[in-house]
Amino acid sequence: MADDKSEIAISYVNQQGEKQQPPVTDTTFAKNKDWDWPYWDKETVSITGQKNFDSSYVKALAYYDKSKNSVWSYDNATFSSITKNWAFKSRYDDYSYGARLEYGIELGENFIKAAANYKKDVHRAYDKNKTTNVESLVERYEDNTVSLGLEDVYNITSKLEFLAGVSYDKKEADEIYDTNTAYLNMLALETQDSFSPQAALVYSLDDSSKVKGSISRKTYMPSMKDRYSRKFNSYVPNVDLKNETATHYELSYLKKYNALTSRANIFLTRVDDAIQSIVHAPSGLLQNQNVGTFDHRGVELELNYKADALEIGGNYTYISIKNKDNGSVEIVDVPKHQFFTFAQKEVAKNVSLYANMKFRDGAYENKLNGTYVTNPNFTTFDLKAIYEPTKNLTAEIGIKNLTDELVRYDMAYPMAGREFFASLDYKF
């Protein structure tokens, strides 16, 4: 780090693991799969830096991310043989790389930022012979994404601030190679783009409180997985997926009083061309489709208290979703009510206790036949002890889901019950 607080940092992450597939507890939601993943590895290297000048800065990031895994499908629940027609061995070798450049400058009452991003995504899939393990390439997909953004913060007065920005994104499919002959007419090279503006006004009522009103348009461009994946012949690809766009309207209030901070938000989000998997009528399989327009209305409340040795906080979110086009389609996995609260107390030098509570209720899930049900609500408690002798070293021991609650985000796969854990984290 330089005297002007300019800095450069290099990061490297290597994760090696394996995964197993739990049995399905309700086959009306998912088909049972006797699968495991002999390895599930990820590796990332990145370099980032920032150079500061008197009234401006330049920030840059470059990265390379690699993901490798293998999945085996077995004949039965004993995981002892791979001979049946439905059983298989496969391997996946994906990578992405990219760069980001950002420039910011203060000009009078304006602070202007401009950014450019580039990302390359490559997916490769291989089938392995069940007996010889000889591999053959069966899928190769490539995408290029370019993003440009511009933002300005203008101080109208000492109390009133105006924020405005715009971004442009373009995703271009470079290559599609697929040896599966089913639905090849639904695989094609396509180009997608989006234009996303935003604006906000922030008014400081006094030194401890602010009111903010904002409007923004965000765009989700379907990924390679959304467009092409057959998910082991359970999905029909859909290269014609449109961008999912969301227009957000939000009004928020922030108040600070000594160690106490409170925040309240009300919002309306209209989502056009929402993307969700539904039954593909001709085949009976599933397919990602644009299912219409939905209004999300809600409230967010947050309260936090932080003193020298004690921190307590919590937040509550309420969301109501209304289908504006087709009343038979529901948005899945979005709870109507969510509540989270936590407390952390320093009980001795470098030692603290942490506890939290989570509540979730009112999320829809769809069955294989296309009908919808509401997931049961649940409440969980976590508890852990934290030892932090230095800024670089942290040790934790604790219990997740203390009361052994039955937790189901997905009705086919209940989550783990009471779980004991220990971890050691060192940063350098």
Q: Give the model's pLDDT for residue 181.
A: 77
Report pLDDT for 3: 61
- In the DSSP assignment, the letter for residue 224 is H
Overall residue count recorded for the chain in this entry: 428
Question: DSSP letter at 185?
Answer: G
Which positions of the chain have pLDDT values less than 50? 1
* Cα 195 to Cα 116: distance, rounded to the nearest angstrom: 14
Residue 82 resides in a domain: yes
| Domain interval for residue 42 | 1-107
Neighbours of 150 (CB within 10 A): 13
- Give bridge partners of residue 264 from the DSSP assignment: 253, 301
Q: Are strands 209-220 and 244-257 parallel, antiparallel or unpaired?
A: antiparallel
Residue-wise pLDDT for 165-223, tens only, equals 999 999 999 888 888 877 777 777 889 999 999 999 999 999 999 999 999 999 999 99
CA distance linking residue 205 with residue 81, whole number of Å: 69
Would you state the pLDDT for residue 325? 87
The reply to whether 126 falls in a domain is no
- The answer to whether 122 and 98 have CB atoms below 8 angstroms apart is no
The whole-number pLDDT of residue 67 equals 97
Whether residue 34 is contained in a domain is answered as: yes
- Whether the CA torsion 25, 30, 35, 37 is positive or negative: it is negative
Distance CA 398, CA 387 (A): 12
- CB-based contact 93:126 (threshold 8 Å): yes
Single-letter amino acid code for the residue at 91: R
Closest CA to 159 of 113, 211, 105: 211
**Residue 28: DSSP 8-state:** T
**Residue 265 domain-assigned?**
no
C-alpha count within 13 angstroms, C-beta hemisphere, residue 274? 23
- Asked if residue 45 is part of any domain, the answer here is yes
* Distance, C-alpha 216 to centroid of its chain: 19
Question: Phi/psi at 227 (nearest 5 deg)?
Answer: -85, -40
> For residue 180, is it within any domain?
no
pLDDT digits (tens, 9 = 90+) for 119-148: 999 999 999 999 898 999 999 999 999 999
CA dist., res. 19 & res. 189, Å (int): 33
Q: Provide the whole-model pTM.
A: 0.88
Number of structural domains, the chain? Answer: 1
Instruction: Say if residue 387 is exposed, middle or buried (CB neighbours under 10 Å; 0-12, 13-18, 19+).
Output: middle
Strand 56-73 and strand 7-15: the pairing is: unpaired
Longest dimension (CA), the chain: 74
User: What is d(CA 337, CA 320) in angstroms, rounded to the nearest whole number?
Assistant: 9
Q: Give a yes or no: residue 40 inside a domain.
A: yes
The reply to whether 99 falls in a domain is yes
